[in-house]
Structure 1
Amino acid sequence: MRRPASPASAPAPFDEAHAKVYDDQFAALNALKDCFHLLMEGYFSGLPEDARILVAGAGTGAEVRYLAPRHPGWRFTLVDPSAPMLAVARRHAEAGGYTDRCAFHADYVSATPLAAHDAATSLLVSHFLTDAVARQSYFADIAARLKSGGRLINVDLCADDTAHSFESVMSLWLSLMGLNGQSEDSRAHYRKAYGVQFAVHGPDAVAKMIEAGGFSPPAPVFQAALMRGWTAQKA
């Protein structure tokens, strides 16, 4: 799910064909997205009326579509290496009337300006970084673009694959994939790819990477099957 975020150890950016169908690709799981969007809004409550939000791995801009109407003074920096995905995000912004509050960067976070943002989102992004050094560097790149005390919410596919409960969690997740319309063969391929092509680090390892990237010890605030989320502040 979602999209790569760093040039190191990441798959190729999503192409135009993928961008066209992305918004509807996981429609049956929208309740999960709604949940961590609600957590995101709660965590960002109290930010200034003119807050600047960095959206790392912005894709088609779902986070901005949620936040922009609710916070008319906030400005957004959408960063994604896929120009086709950002083109969809821009069309959503034009339809929503908030394009003038958005800056679009078809690149990796590490290549974007070092502007001081009040908060950042990284939703279903860093699990594509299978190399631990690259993944920690990604969080450091986000921290470098936040003000001191700036807030981060991070959600990834993540599980301890050595735990006795892992296969039960994975079975539930694959059942959710089935509800979303994925075939049995597709789910079997997904199971083989997990821990190889994405999401190779367990929750303790991810939390340590976030902290080592320049954040306070992250708080675990969300879990739904294979999805886990943390909040943290720039140290």
Structure 2
Amino acid sequence: MRDDELKALFDQQAAGYDKQWSGMAPIREALYRLLDALFAALPENARILCVGVGTGAEVAHLAGRFPGWQFTAVDPSGAMLEVCRQRAAQDGFLSRCYFHEGYLDTLPGMPEHDGATCFLVSQFLLERRARTAFFHEIACRLKPGGVLANADLASDTGSPAYEALLRSWMTLMSSAGVQPEMLERARVAYARDVAILPTQQVAGLIEAAGFEAPVQFFQAGLMHGWACPRKASRAR
């Protein structure tokens, strides 16, 4: 899927996105609870980069947990970012946010960040070199030792395990109230528009971008999460 098609898709879904996926909230909350522990040692005035922030669920969570933190919210979908902005205003942390509509490589220069989140974003980059370049963009915007928390769908799609996980993942989404048309769209996207790679390959792409070896801290079905600090010297 081209960048403009992906942006248009999320623009179209923005207004109803949170309601559509509300049944998956327990998985998201489990991820966020572990994220709290990963980020607990960051400074009281930390700056956090949220890449592909969407409607801002992780920003809202972190803003509530860490009242001194500042956030850079990046998303190519203006409609998604507007929902994020409204959430920030409603929850009282708007003044702690900088919003950037566009892809990460268009983000203006600013002070380096102490941490970054990137949830279900890099999987849309089908070409591995582009995916590594994307993680490198994140590394370049982190302080040395700054922590990346990344989550993507991952599996060895050629293995029997993938078929079992895919079936259970689809069943989970169905039982969580995801509409049939969205389920079918997801099934088609997983085969055509999402780069579902084995977990060790995703970790390798992140490490090659200038991070220490990623540690897997989360799995729920097909979704896996990795955490790693930026190396002291950036990859070239």
Structure 1 residue ranges without an equivalent (≥5): none
CA contact (8 A) 2:72 2:99 kept: yes
Check 1:189–1:75 CA distance in 2 against 1; reply closer, same or farther (3 A cut): closer
Matches within 5 A, 1:200-211: 200-211=196-207
> Over the residues paired in the alignment, what is the CA RMSD in angstroms?
1.9
- Structure 1 residue 159, shift from structure 2 partner: 1.0
Map of 2:48 onto structure 1? 53
Check 1:97–1:131 CA distance in 2 against 1; reply closer, same or farther (3 A cut): same
Map of 2:210 onto structure 1? 214
Q: Say whether 1:232 aligns with 2:228.
A: yes
CA contact (8 A) 1:158 1:203 kept: yes
Map of 1:33 onto structure 2? 28
Check 1:32–1:12 CA distance in 2 against 1; reply closer, same or farther (3 A cut): same
1:24 to 19, 25, 33: 19
Map of 2:114 onto structure 1? 118
Cα deviation 1:76-124 (Å, max 9, x = unaligned): 0000001111111111111111111100000111111333000000011
Q: Which amino acid aligns with 1:112?
A: L
Structure 2 residue ranges without an equivalent (≥5): 232-236
Identity %: 40
Matched pairs, number:
230
- Whose helix proportion is higher, 1 or 2? 2
Q: Say whether 1:86 aligns with 2:85.
A: no
Map of 1:171 onto structure 2? 167
Map of 1:134 onto structure 2? 130
Distance 1:229 1:40 in 2: 10
- With 116-125 and 156-165 compared, the bigger mean Cα shift is at 156-165
CA contact (8 A) 1:174 1:187 kept: yes
Check 1:184–1:92 CA distance in 2 against 1; reply closer, same or farther (3 A cut): closer
Check 1:89–1:136 CA distance in 2 against 1; reply closer, same or farther (3 A cut): same
- Structure 1 residue 58, shift from structure 2 partner: 0.6
Q: Say whether 1:104 aligns with 2:99.
A: yes
Distance 1:164 1:225 in 2: 14
Q: TM-score, normalised by structure 1?
A: 0.91
- Structure 1 residue 206, shift from structure 2 partner: 0.7
Check 1:108–1:186 CA distance in 2 against 1; reply closer, same or farther (3 A cut): closer
Q: Which amino acid aligns with 2:116?
A: A
Distance 1:233 1:39 in 2: 16
- Structure 1 residue 187, shift from structure 2 partner: 3.5
CA contact (8 A) 1:130 1:196 kept: no
Distance 2:12 2:159 in 1: 37
Q: Which amino acid aligns with 2:52?
A: G
CA contact (8 A) 2:20 2:178 kept: no
